[in-house]
Amino acid sequence: MCPVQGSMASSFAPPKLADFILTEKLGSGTYATVYKAYRKTDSREAVAVKVVSKKSLNKASMENLLTEIEILKTVRHPHIVQLKDFQWDSENIYLILEWCSGGDLSRFIRSRRILPERVARRFLQQIACSLKFLHEKNISHLDLKPQNILLSGSVLKLADFGFAQYMSPWDEQSALRGSPLYMAPEMVCRRQYDARVDLWSVGVILYETLFGRAPFASRSFAELEEKIRSDKPIELPAGARVSRDCRDLLLRLLDRDPDSRISFEEFFLHPFVDLEHMPSAESLGKAKELVLRAVQKDQEGERAAALSLYCSALEHFVPAIHYETDRQRKEVLRQKVNQYVSRAEELKALVASDNRISFERAKSSRDILREMSKDHPRLLTALDLAAAAVAKEDCGLEDYETLDLYQQSLGELLLALAAESQGRRRELLHGEIKSLMSRAEYLKEKIKIRETQRDVDKDPVSESVRTSCCLQ
């Protein structure tokens, strides 16, 4: 029962509805058929009409439909398809839904094969934003899949709440709901599950956007069932090139055990989801506040602090550009942001000059620390990771792989520091950690500036949507 809003011809005349003209059939399922329609007014507003035959409904499906109507009548969210009205006659029940012209996410993925991580992340943010809203109202969707996520321009909207339920975090269900390819293993294996099944489904959707197929993609239902019932942990495809944060989130979402799977709270706060920097009405206000502080620090001659604040401001300015719909205001904002990027580039060169002496000093201390750590293999390995990160950065490899090396070494060095007793080695270790943290933060700022330059003139999601439309 999926309101796929694309283009499918129908040889049957659509039903009559007093206030609407129903046109082409968009999709159909066991209980419903979805049509594109126009309101019989001067506005000729386009809508999607989900037509449910009363004869096809049993007790369970009628309860599901009533729950769907109840939920959609009470929720209003930019990333959830809006139920505008519902009507009925002697034969059918009609759900009049918001029209989404871009089709569903499944078709979008098929047209692109795989999505760049930046596009997948922007889509994930929108899914997470809607799930956060639903989670706060104790609503579980229970049928999350790309076919039930619609596109309106570059905006994603959750659709088809036919299996949705009001569920407190401690509520358990046993009825099978959803689609096997996106269904959490506990639904099939235990027949006992709770709201956490939605997190598994999000993991499957993210996996599919990045790699073009679901993790349990199979040639037959028997093969699919075998994969679902297996105890084998989910692995990313061989040679998968995704960021550390993305990999971490995928594997934590796709944990077969719901008790060790990432929680909703951890998911909403995860650095890859990064709801803080999602394009929204608040993005511009946050950016302006930070850039004012950056300008002040800049005028006071505090270069490193100014650079850090400019970079933080840019992390909100780029989403603000993508959120703005007025072309003229968007262009004015772009020009302003380009000025801030230019100033950040100038400060980056100045800070690099300021850092050179302290980084050289840290290098000599690092050599001494290495000599003092020959009896401590784990500390020596962490220092080797740090040296590898420094070498990569010095060679101009200023990317997330280098940043990951810094983060790995710092994780190990902080553990070593906690276990280290007072003395000269502890002092050197403390100094090394401070130096590496400084280098990692500086590298992060350089990456931010580069990404801002790349993103400020084009929205990667809008570009993908436009390209996809050309392919279809």
Annotated binding residues, written as ranges, equal 50
As a whole number of Å, the CA-based R_g of the chain is: 26
- Cβ(110)–Cβ(186) under 8 Å? no
Spatial CB neighbours of 200, under 8 Å, sequence gap ≥ 6: 182, 183, 184, 185, 253, 254, 258, 261
143: annotated active-site residue: yes
Closest listed residue to residue 289, CA positions, set 309, 304, 275:
309
Walk across the sheet containing 32-39 and list its strands: 20-28, 32-39, 46-53, 92-98, 83-88
Set 19, 89, 104, 143: catalytic member = 143
CA distances in angstroms from 163 to 31, 32, 41, 203, 382, listed in the order given: 12, 13, 33, 19, 49
Maximum Cα interatomic distance, the chain, rounded to a whole number of Å:
86
Closest listed residue to residue 438, CA positions, set 467, 465, 406, 392:
406
Tokens of 443: 């590298």
Q: What secondary structure, in 3-state letters, does 189-233 show? A: HCCCECCCHHHHHHHHHHHHHHHCCCCCCCCCHHHHHHHHHCCCC
- Cβ(158)–Cβ(80) under 8 Å? yes
Cα–Cα dist 118/120, whole Å? 6
Q: What angle do CA 308, 313, 315 make, to 5 degrees?
A: 100
Closest listed residue to residue 273, CA positions, set 187, 185, 205:
205
CA distances in angstroms from 382 to 49, 234, 396, listed in the order given: 60, 28, 22
Indicate the length of the chain as a whole number.
Answer: 472
Binding-site positions for ATP? 50
CA dihedral 395→399→400→404, nearest 10 degrees, is 10
- CB pairs under 8 A, 24+ apart, for 133-136? 133/75, 133/77, 133/79, 133/80, 134/75, 134/80, 135/195, 135/264
Indicate which residues carry an active-site annotation.
Answer: 143
